[in-house]
């Protein structure tokens, strides 16, 4: 095995040119102290680790469809298949109200956002346990893991748009006007909601492995509670206000309004959804940050 | 000299309940919470233990500091604190310079990704920037010696290739401060050896190293200074030679000799009582530590108080992990008949090249034979302990190898080798070209 023989001395010879590399060579002082009582999100630190965040996202995207036969086509097939089922079951048989938008378009637009949300939530909810080997062996801000898991499904979402756009062309329904620029904001609301819940669940999952069992029980009914197979504006107002406490209701109706030119959502209801999403994010983050110091001990 | 690592009063407590049940289900917690509310269960299972208590030390730039101590003394906890995997309960530490650690070799490798992709992933996890990895990649590949497999998924690698790539990435981190845990630096013997070699070179090239190890030889060889941890406290700090010597003396809690001056309170019954137990070399001199190659004796002195059943001495030797290495008793015919009242000194001779390195502890007893068990008359568990050491001169079972050498025993075997001409190499006596 002489070809693989290595000289230990090779790697430790100090190389003068590297001593000049200021980026790493400045005296970096690491202070180790008890975790602060009041948890907060250390944004400068997250910024410092941005490259690792990118690396985690890249890793998960890379391995997402490895060793699959259809590969990335799944990102298109899953929403198409689900949309067909929804159209047949809820559109044809149950006659759910669609408002002023073709039913297939209504369902597909809702499903894409919903699938982004469920993937983000599931991924970030189990992210710490999935990456247990990292959590117990090396330091980095733990928030990177749920954060990366909430970003990765955006790729599937973007691919899913490749199904939605031809459908919009087919029905000739284009965004009505300038409100289309608000579309990213509604997607951002889905991201914030998923991440907030993801922070909470991933921290809980470190101690109690109930999360992966709980999610499949809860997630299948979520589309029905978020207006995926119907237009929220078309149902009795009392129910609209109850559904408003689910931020995904605001996300889906707002997204349809911005992109498909569907009826505008009730802004009061949207405000409720946003408030719930922010509360979820702040609460989830607080739980995450306060249990973060013990992750490696309890996981 | 500027200080590279400065720790002040570092402490870490765990709740015992947490250690025993790392995680449970929500239901279990609810059950416990309900019981507490009803007053049926006290909070005693939340008792705290200090894995590390008030640990302070300084490591100067360019110094190699050894950390030694028994299992559970807090060494691993200290490393976990310094690498920020977990946070201290009290105290603080400052580390000045870029930190790398060899306790995380290969952490974060993803089996589906190729060697090249994993080099980037692992490098980022260890704290390298992308540009830096790109620049060092040719070196990393060359060092690992797996050029042709860099675009193969790591799941198809042999474990040796896996370790080589992982080590190569970690080796190119070029930290100013290196934290090494020998126990966690898993890998084959070759890899262990490379770790030790690298440590030595790092120390010589002026890097700061903190080295946690059970290998006393490596500590005294590589480290300038050492600290001895016991039950989470620093009990000794000084030159590595001194600290290692103290560790070897105190570890195990028992020394290499024990004497009971008062016969009435010595272990035993109305037939036999122990007088003393000593670990001796072949000249009969008391020793703490034995050369692995030399025989040593366990000398058991006891008094027979009256006429009675025939008795015989026995010993039971444990290795440092508490495994029984062997049992032995004197089966000679002199113990077949009842022994006359009086003092006896029996010595069991343990041959050289039998026990492995480390701390051995000994139970002694004087028993009578009875079915189905031996009937003890006098006995003392953990009576004495002694250290088995290998000076590393190359004539023991480990030869010149310096890495971890597993096993309860370490016999120096006789090897025979037969060499046959290969069938494909043609008629005998002809040289292959």
pLDDT at B116: 92
By Cβ distance, the residue of B10, B23, B103 closest to A298 is: B23
Q: At what angle do helices A103-125 and A153-171 cross, to 10 degrees?
A: 180
Q: Does the beta-carbon distance from B172 to A11 stay under 8 Å?
A: yes
Shortest Cα distance from A105 to chain B (angstroms)? 37
Shortest Cα distance from B404 to chain A (angstroms)? 18
Sheet containing B312-318: give its strands across: B289-291, B375-389, B358-368, B312-318, B324-329
Q: Does the beta-carbon distance from A208 to B23 stay under 8 Å?
A: yes
Structure confidence by residue, pLDDT tens digits, B241-268: 888 878 876 654 567 888 888 888 888 8
Highest mean pLDDT among A186-190, B306-310, B359-363, B372-376: A186-190
Query: Does B383 score more than 60 pLDDT?
Result: yes
By Cβ distance, the residue of A25, A208, A294 closest to B24 is: A208
**Contact yes or no for A132/B107 (Cβ under 8 A):** no
pLDDT at A57: 95
Q: Does the beta-carbon distance from B99 to A30 stay under 8 Å?
A: yes
Say how far apart CA A191 and CA A258 lie, in whole Å: 17
DSSP string, B362-425: EEEEEEE--SSS-EEEEEEEEEEEEEEE----S-STTTT--S----SB-------------GGG
The Cα-based distances of A114 to A226, A281, B7 in angstroms read 9, 18, 50
Q: Write out chain A residues lying below 8 Å of B6, CB-based.
A: none
Structurally, at CATH architecture level, domain B257-389 sits in Distorted Sandwich (2.70)
**Contact yes or no for B425/B372 (Cβ under 8 A):** no
Instruction: List the beta bridge partners of residue B317.
Output: B326, B362
The Cα-based distances of B35 to A91, B16, B21, B28, B196 in angstroms read 51, 18, 18, 11, 52
Q: Does the beta-carbon distance from A32 to B97 stay under 8 Å?
A: no
Angle at A59 between CA A57 and CA A61, to 5 degrees: 70
Q: Write out chain A residues lying below 8 Å of B113, CB-based.
A: 59, 62-63
Structure confidence by residue, pLDDT tens digits, B131-186: 999 999 998 888 888 888 989 998 898 877 887 788 788 778 778 888 887 654 44
Q: Please choose, from the candidates A119, A278, A122, A141, the residue with its C-alpha nearest in 3D space to the C-alpha of residue A202.
A: A122
For B124, half-sphere exposure in the C-beta direction (CA atoms, 13 angstrom radius) is 23
Q: From the candidates B86, B114, B118, which should be mutated to test the interface with A, based on the most A CB atoms within 10 A?
A: B86
A209: preceding bond cis by omega (within 30 degrees): no
Q: Does the beta-carbon distance from A32 to B10 stay under 8 Å?
A: yes
Q: Does the beta-carbon distance from B198 to A8 stay under 8 Å?
A: yes
Q: From the candidates A1, A8, A129, A205, which should be mutated to test the interface with B, based on the most B CB atoms within 10 A?
A: A8
What the block records as the tokens of B392 is: 């590393």
**pLDDT-based confidence at residue B279 (cuts at 50, 70, 90):** very high
Q: What is the DSSP secondary structure assignment for residue B321, as one 8-state letter?
A: T
CATH 3.40.50.300 fits B3-250, yes or no: yes
Query: Does A28 score more than 90 pLDDT?
Result: no
Decide: residue B174, CB within 10 A, 0-12 exposed, 13-18 middle, 19+ buried: buried
Say how far apart CA A138 and CA A144 lie, in whole Å: 13
Structure confidence by residue, pLDDT tens digits, A59-111: 999 888 887 888 888 889 999 999 999 999 988 888 888 888 889 999 999 99
Q: What average pLDDT does the structure give for chain A?
A: 85
Q: Which residue of A has its CA nearest to B22?
A: A298
Q: What is the CA radius of gyration of chain B?
A: 28
Q: Does the beta-carbon distance from A31 to B108 stay under 8 Å?
A: no
Shortest Cα distance from A276 to chain B (angstroms)? 25
**Contact yes or no for A175/A259 (Cβ under 8 A):** yes
Q: Write out chain B residues lying below 8 Å of A34, CB-based.
A: 87-92
Residue A113 lies in a domain: yes
Q: From the candidates A12, A210, A213, which should be mutated to test the interface with B, based on the most B CB atoms within 10 A?
A: A12
Largest CA distance in chain B: 90
Q: Does the beta-carbon distance from B95 to A10 stay under 8 Å?
A: no
pLDDT at B171: 75
Shortest Cα distance from B270 to chain A (angstroms)? 52
Q: What is the CA radius of gyration of chain A?
A: 23
Q: Write out chain A residues lying below 8 Å of B168, CB-based.
A: 6
Query: Does B285 score more than 90 pLDDT?
Result: no
Q: Does the beta-carbon distance from B108 to A134 stay under 8 Å?
A: yes
**pLDDT-based confidence at residue B38 (cuts at 50, 70, 90):** low
Shortest Cα distance from B292 to chain A (angstroms)? 29
What the block records as the tokens of B367 is: 């028993």
Lowest mean pLDDT among A108-117, A267-276, B401-410: B401-410
The Cα-based distances of A108 to A74, A166, A172 in angstroms read 15, 12, 15
pLDDT at B20: 45
Residue A194 lies in a domain: yes
Domain count across chain A: 1
Shortest Cα distance from A208 to chain B (angstroms)? 5
Q: Which residue of B has its CA nearest to A138?
A: B85
pLDDT at A117: 97
**Contact yes or no for A34/B90 (Cβ under 8 A):** yes
Q: Does the beta-carbon distance from B80 to A296 stay under 8 Å?
A: yes
pLDDT at A282: 93
pLDDT at B323: 77
**Contact yes or no for B56/B8 (Cβ under 8 A):** yes
pLDDT at B5: 92
Q: What average pLDDT does the structure give for chain B?
A: 81
Q: Does the beta-carbon distance from A35 to B87 stay under 8 Å?
A: yes
Say how far apart CA A228 and CA B268 lie, in whole Å: 83
By Cβ distance, the residue of A9, A31, A137 closest to B85 is: A137
Q: Please choose, from the candidates B73, B71, B90, B72, the residue with its C-alpha nearest in 3D space to the C-alpha of residue B81.
A: B90
What the block records as the tokens of A247 is: 């931020």
Say how far apart CA A56 and CA A44 lie, in whole Å: 19
Q: Does the beta-carbon distance from B93 to A28 stay under 8 Å?
A: no
List of residues 6+ apart from B419 with CB closer than 8 A: none
Task: Give residue limits of the domains in chain B.
Answer: 3-250, 257-389
Q: Write out chain B residues lying below 8 Å of A8, CB-based.
A: 194, 197-198, 201
Q: Please choose, from the candidates B163, B65, B55, B166, the residue with its C-alpha nearest in 3D space to the C-alpha of residue B119.
A: B166
Q: Write out chain B residues lying below 8 Å of A11, CB-based.
A: 139, 143, 171-172, 174, 198
Q: Does the beta-carbon distance from B29 to A140 stay under 8 Å?
A: no
Neighbour tally for B241: CB within 10 Å: 13
What the block records as the tokens of B290 is: 């034995």
By Cβ distance, the residue of B93, B125, B205 closest to A14 is: B205
**Contact yes or no for B315/B298 (Cβ under 8 A):** yes
What the block records as the tokens of B69 is: 């101590």
Query: Does A187 score more than 90 pLDDT?
Result: yes
Say how far apart CA A209 and CA A299 lie, in whole Å: 10
Q: In chain A, which ranges are E strands?
A: 29-32
Q: Write out chain A residues lying below 8 Å of B144, CB-based.
A: 6
Highest mean pLDDT among A9-18, A23-32, A274-283, B132-141: A274-283
Q: Does the beta-carbon distance from B22 to A298 stay under 8 Å?
A: yes
pLDDT above 70 covers a percentage of chain B that reads 81
Q: Which residue of A has its CA nearest to B12?
A: A34
Structure confidence by residue, pLDDT tens digits, B179-232: 887 654 444 556 666 666 766 777 777 788 898 876 676 787 778 899 999 888
Say how far apart CA A4 and CA B157 lie, in whole Å: 15
Write out the residue range of the structural domain in which residue A141 sits: 61-298
Query: Does A25 score more than 80 pLDDT?
Result: no
Decide: residue B179, CB within 10 A, 0-12 exposed, 13-18 middle, 19+ buried: buried
Say how far apart CA B275 and CA B413 lie, in whole Å: 37
What the block records as the tokens of B152 is: 């193969």
How far is residue B108 CA from its own chain's centroid?
A: 26
What the block records as the tokens of A175 is: 């965004």
Structure confidence by residue, pLDDT tens digits, B332-378: 888 888 889 999 999 999 999 999 888 888 989 999 887 777 888 89
Q: What is the DSSP secondary structure assignment for residue A101, as one 8-state letter?
A: S
Average pLDDT over residues A27-49: 80
Q: From the candidates A10, A11, A126, A130, which should be mutated to test the interface with B, based on the most B CB atoms within 10 A?
A: A11
Size of interface A-B (CB pairs under 8 A): 147
DSSP 3-state of B264? coil
**Torsion sign over Cα A133, A138, A139, A140:** negative
List of residues 6+ apart from B124 with CB closer than 8 A: A51, A52, A55, B130, B133
**pLDDT-based confidence at residue A27 (cuts at 50, 70, 90):** low
Of residues B159 and A172, more confidence is placed in A172
Q: What residue has token string 């302990």?
A: B385
């Amino acid at each position: 095995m002489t070809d693989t023989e290595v000289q230990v001395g090779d790697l430790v010879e100090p190389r003068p040119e590297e001593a000049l590399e200021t980026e790493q060579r400045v005296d970096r002082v690491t202070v180790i102290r008890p975790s602060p009582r009041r948890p907060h999100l250390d944004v400068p630190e997250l910024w410092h680790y941005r490259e690792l965040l990118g690396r985690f996202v890249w890793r998960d995207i890379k391995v997402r469809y490895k060793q699959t036969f259809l590969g990335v086509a799944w990102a298109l097939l899953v929403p198409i298949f689900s949309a067909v089922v929804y159209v047949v079951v809820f559109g044809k048989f149950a006659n759910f109200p669609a408002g002023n938008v073709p039913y297939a378009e209504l369902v597909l637009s809702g499903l894409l956002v919903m699938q982004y949300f469920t993937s983000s939530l599931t991924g970030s909810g189990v992210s710490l346990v999935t990456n247990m080997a990292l959590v117990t062996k090396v330091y980095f801000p733990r928030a990177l893991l749920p954060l990366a898991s909430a970003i990765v499904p955006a790729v599937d979402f973007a691919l899913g748009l490749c199904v939605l756009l031809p459908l919009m062309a087919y029905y000739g329904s284009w965004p009505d006007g300038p409100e289309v620029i608000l579309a990213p904001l509604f997607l951002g609301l889905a991201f914030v909601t998923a991440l907030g819940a993801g922070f909470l669940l991933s921290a809980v999952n470190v101690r109690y492995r109930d999360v992966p069992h709980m999610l499949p029980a809860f997630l299948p009914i979520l589309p029905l509670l978020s207006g995926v197979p119907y237009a929220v504006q078309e149902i009795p107002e009392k129910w609209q206000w109850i559904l408003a406490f689910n931020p995904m209701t605001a996300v889906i109706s707002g997204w349809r309004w911005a992109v498909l030119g569907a009826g505008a959502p009730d802004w009061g209801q949207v405000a409720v959804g946003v408030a719930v999403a922010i509360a979820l994010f702040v609460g989830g983050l607080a739980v995450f940050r306060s249990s973060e110091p013990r992750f490696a001990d309890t996981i | 000299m500027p200080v590279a690592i400065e720790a002040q009063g570092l402490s870490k407590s765990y709740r015992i309940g947490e250690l025993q049940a790392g995680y449970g289900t929500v239901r279990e917690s609810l059950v416990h919470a309900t019981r507490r509310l009803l007053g049926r269960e006290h909070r005693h299972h939340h008792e705290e233990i200090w894995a590390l208590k008030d640990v302070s030390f300084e490591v100067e730039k360019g110094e190699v500091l050894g950390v030694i101590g028994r299992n559970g003394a807090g060494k691993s906890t200290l490393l976990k604190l310094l690498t920020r995997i977990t946070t201290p309960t009290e105290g603080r530490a400052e580390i000045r310079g870029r930190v790398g650690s060899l306790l995380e070799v290969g952490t974060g490798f993803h089996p589906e990704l190729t060697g090249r992709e994993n080099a980037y992933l692992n490098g980022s996890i260890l704290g390298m920037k992308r540009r830096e990895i790109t620049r060092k990649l040719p070196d990393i590949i060359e060092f690992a010696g797996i050029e042709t497999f860099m675009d193969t998924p790591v799941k198809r690698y042999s474990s040796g290739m896996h370790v080589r790539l992982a080590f190569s990435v970690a080796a190119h981190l070029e930290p100013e401060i290196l934290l090494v845990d020998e126990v966690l630096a898993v890998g084959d013997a070759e890899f262990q050896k490379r770790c030790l070699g690298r440590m030595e070179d790092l120390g010589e090239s002026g890097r700061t190293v903190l080295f946690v190890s059970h290998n006393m030889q490596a500590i005294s060889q590589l480290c300038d200074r050492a600290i001895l941890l016991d039950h989470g406290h620093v009990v000794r700090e000084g030159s590595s030679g001194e600290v290692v010597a103290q560790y070897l003396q105190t570890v195990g809690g028992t020394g290499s000799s024990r004497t009971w001056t008062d016969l009435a309170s010595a272990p035993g019954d109305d037939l036999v009582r122990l007088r003393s137990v000593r670990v001796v070399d072949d000249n009969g001199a008391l020793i703490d530590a034995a050369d692995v190659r030399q025989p040593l004796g366990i000398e058991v002195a006891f008094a027979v108080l009256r006429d009675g059943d025939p008795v015989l001495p026995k010993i039971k030797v444990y290795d440092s992990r508490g495994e029984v290495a062997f049992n032995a008793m004197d089966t000679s015919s002199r113990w077949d008949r009842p022994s006359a009242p009086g003092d006896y000194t029996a010595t069991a001779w343990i041959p050289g090249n039998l026990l492995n390195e480390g701390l051995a502890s000994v139970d002694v007893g004087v028993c009578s034979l009875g079915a189905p068990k031996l009937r003890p008359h006098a006995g003392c568990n953990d009576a004495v302990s002694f250290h088995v050491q290998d000076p590393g001169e190359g004539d023991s079972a480990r030869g010149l190898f310096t890495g971890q050498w597993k096993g309860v025993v370490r016999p120096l075997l006789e090897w025979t080798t037969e060499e046959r001409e290969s069938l494909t190499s043609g008629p005998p006596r002809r040289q292959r070209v």
